[in-house]
């Protein structure tokens, strides 16, 4: 559910800022992409093994979005598409985008701090 008063302007800013999409995907995101056979998405994820937790379960960190085959972060998300002649942006993997993206913005204060204008009623 979008936050009250929020209206996305499709400016694409949050998809160009690593701080906004948080640099990592969740276990669920990664498993879903595996089940869906989304090699095109997995190519941009760097998996880091963190060892086992106290219960013996394996822990991993899924860094996004990186240059395929490396751990070098890209400047922005490779799945952001600019609509021709509209100066608007869409997510080309909307149906299976990461949890962080689906939950953005979870707080108005944070959204405004990164420059999101979705709460600005004057535009």
Contact residues: ligand SF4, CB under 6 A: 8-15, 21, 77, 79-80, 91, 93, 97-98, 101, 116-118
Taking the least distance from each CB to ligand SF4, the nearer of 59 and 102 is 102
Instruction: Please give the angle made by the CA atoms of 113, 94 and 116, to the nearest 5 degrees.
Output: 15
Q: Tell me the longest C-alpha to C-alpha distance in the chain.
A: 53
Q: How far is the CB of 59 from ligand SF4 (least distance, A)?
A: 23
**Residue that the structure tokens 């160009």 belong to:** 16
Q: How far is the CB of 111 from ligand SF4 (least distance, A)?
A: 6
Q: Residue 92, preceding bond cis, omega within 30 degrees?
A: no
Taking the least distance from each CB to ligand SF4, the nearer of 42 and 80 is 80
> What token pair was written down for 33?
């992409």
Q: How far is the CB of 11 from ligand SF4 (least distance, A)?
A: 4
* Three-class DSSP category at 120: coil
**Are 102 and 93 spatial neighbours (Cβ–Cβ below 8 Å)?**
no
Taking the least distance from each CB to ligand SF4, the nearer of 60 and 87 is 87
Taking the least distance from each CB to ligand SF4, the nearer of 11 and 66 is 11
**Are 13 and 83 spatial neighbours (Cβ–Cβ below 8 Å)?**
no
């Amino acid at each position: 559910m979008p936050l009250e008063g929020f209206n996305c302007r499709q400016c694409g800013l949050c998809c160009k800022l690593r701080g906004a999409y948080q640099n990592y995907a969740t276990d669920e995101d990664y498993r879903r992409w595996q089940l869906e056979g989304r090699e095109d998405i997995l190519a941009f994820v760097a998996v880091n093994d963190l060892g086992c937790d106290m219960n013996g379960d394996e822990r991993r960190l899924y860094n996004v979005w990186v240059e395929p085959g490396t751990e070098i972060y890209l400047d922005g998300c490779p799945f952001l598409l600019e609509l021709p002649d509209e100066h608007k942006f869409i997510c080309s993997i909307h149906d299976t985008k990461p949890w962080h993206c689906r939950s953005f913005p979870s707080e108005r204060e944070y959204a405004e701090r990164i420059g999101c204008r979705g709460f600005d009623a004057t535009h």
